[in-house]
Amino acid sequence: MHALSIPTWIIHISSVIEWIAAIWFIWRYGEVTKNRAWWGLSFAMLPALVSAMCACTWHFFDNPMSLQWLVTLQATMTVVGNVTLLIAAWYIWRTVKPVNCFAEVKSSATLRTPHPPRKRELRSWGLPKWRKFAREVHQESHKSEVKD
């Protein structure tokens, strides 16, 4: 365990914890949006997690030659993880329909400041409603920039 300094250990361990949290948040996002492509992304993140755990394990035991196979496994899992993330990102891209940003432009008289949805409304919101909400926020922010 002396192979790395304490700050380096903190970075290694916090990175693994953050990656686990990201996997969980992406899985939950897939549940909320009912889009299984996001579940695929969370599964595609697992090889990179294994790679990080290999690195932490090898360093924990002071980088012995008897565990050199962990370095090979880490490199392999990094390549596999990059490929699975590429495939998952491509699949998400394929499942999302293109949005015409100018399809629902409202006149400035009817445009009101959008308010975020309530918690109970969030469950029924799909990706199109979130896009519409983001578009309204964007339009409202640009409207205020013009007045200033």
> Quick one: 23 and 80 in the same domain?
yes
This prediction has a pTM of: 0.63
* pLDDT above 70: percentage of residues in the chain: 72
For residue 68, what are the contacts with CB-CB under 8 A and spacing of at least 6?
Answer: none
Does residue 126 fall inside a structural domain?
yes
pLDDT, tens digit (0-9, with 9 covering 90-100), for 114-142? 565 565 555 566 667 767 777 777 777 66
d(CA 13, CA 73): 19
Structural domain count of the chain: 2
What is the residue-averaged pLDDT of the chain?
Answer: 81
Q: Does the residue 20 lie in any domain?
A: yes
Average pLDDT, stretch 90-108?
67
DSSP string, 38-102: HHHHHHHTHHHHHHHHHHHHHHHTT--GGGHHHHHHHHHHHHHHHHHHHHHHHHHHHHSPP--TT
Q: Which domain holds residue 18?
A: 6-95
